[in-house]
Amino acid sequence: MIELTKRLAETWGPPGYEHRIRQLIRAEVADLADDIWVDGLGNLICRVGSGGKKLLIAAHMDEIGVMATYKEPHSGYLRFSNLGGLRTDTLHGNRVQFEDGTVGVIAAQGGGKTLDEFYIDVQADADSNATPVGQPAGFMRELQVRGERIIGKSLDDRIGCVVAIESMRRLRRETPHEVYFAFTVQEEVGLRGAKTAAQGVHPDIGIAIDVTASGDVLRGPKMLVRLGGGAAIKVHDPGLVVPVAIKNWMVARCQADGIPYQLELLTGGRTDASVIQLTDSGVPSGCISIPTRYLHTTSETVDIGDVKACIDLLTGLLTNPIDI
């Protein structure tokens, strides 16, 4: 699991430019699904099983990034816009890599408070620019493991992709249901991929696999979720009120299988489940969340035990009868 997480987290793939991470995941799941295709927006969709309930499991492939929009005259400095939710307090001194391989350094005079104060230094030498405008870039950082903690960039939501892939491995293409694993695109810029995936699949039940904040950091927001507490079962966020039957289904599975779990009530942020629920005449949807510290930074941190609990929960849900 660690090796897979490292490869996925370090792979380049800003919103709308998920082709590299999609290729990697497709190779990983090639023998784990009955059917695999890419839809018109770029989602990688894998069907496992047939008959019974039709479930859509969504984990997004994209990571936050930037887009070079303007070159300052007679300089190697690029202005840029955001691809997803950037935190300006973490940008100064960070490195990004453009699609052509160019590495740039983000900086701002005095540290910067608003995005228009920042620039990316891509000087190749005293007289030349290393990359043109109009290129996307993703952040750079090597994944590391510290005891039971995994630290890296883009664990939002590559760790969710790991949960989905590992669950597919455990299923071994055996499930009493018709399960569609969707590795979605452009979640960070408006949950776009999940919308087209759900419209194509027409599921009976939707489950997003994504990260959530933790309430165990100094002076952080107060919430029940903590690292090491197990799988987080979503109850509510600004885009989703989880149906009680879906929440109880997940809780009951954890209790039956002895899986550690905690309840998630998130006051900021949405997941793919927010748009899946609005498909057709409505789809009962929930979310299995991985507790994560330092979201939308290059040092997002998760607990290995929590990740395993999420894999156990998802696998349990997909291998047992559903009576909801």
What are the CA-CA distances from residue 266 to residues 162, 230, 233, 236, 263 (Å)? 22, 16, 11, 6, 10
- Which pLDDT score is estimated for 22? 98
Number of Cβ atoms within 10 Å of the Cβ of 105: 14
Instruction: Convert the pLDDT of each residue in 94-110 to its tens digit.
Output: 999 999 999 999 999 87
What pLDDT is stored for residue 253 in this prediction? 98
Residue ranges in the chain modelled with pLDDT below 70: 126-130
User: Residue 177: what pLDDT?
Assistant: 96
Task: Give the per-residue pLDDT at 126.
Answer: 64
- pTM for this prediction: 0.96
Residue 57's pLDDT is: 98
> Residue 212 is encoded by which pair of tokens?
């959530």
Q: For the chain, how long is the longest CA-to-CA vector?
A: 68
- pLDDT value of residue 262: 98
What domains are there in the chain, each with its CATH number? 2-63+153-319 (3.40.630.10), 66-139 (2.40.30.40)
Q: Please give the full DSSP string across 152-179, using - where no structure is assigned.
A: ETTHHHHHHHHHHHHHHHHHTT--SSEE
pLDDT at residue number 299: 97
Residues in the chain: 324
- DSSP-based three-state secondary structure for 19: helix
Token reading at 313: 């929960």
Write out the catalytic residue numbers. 187
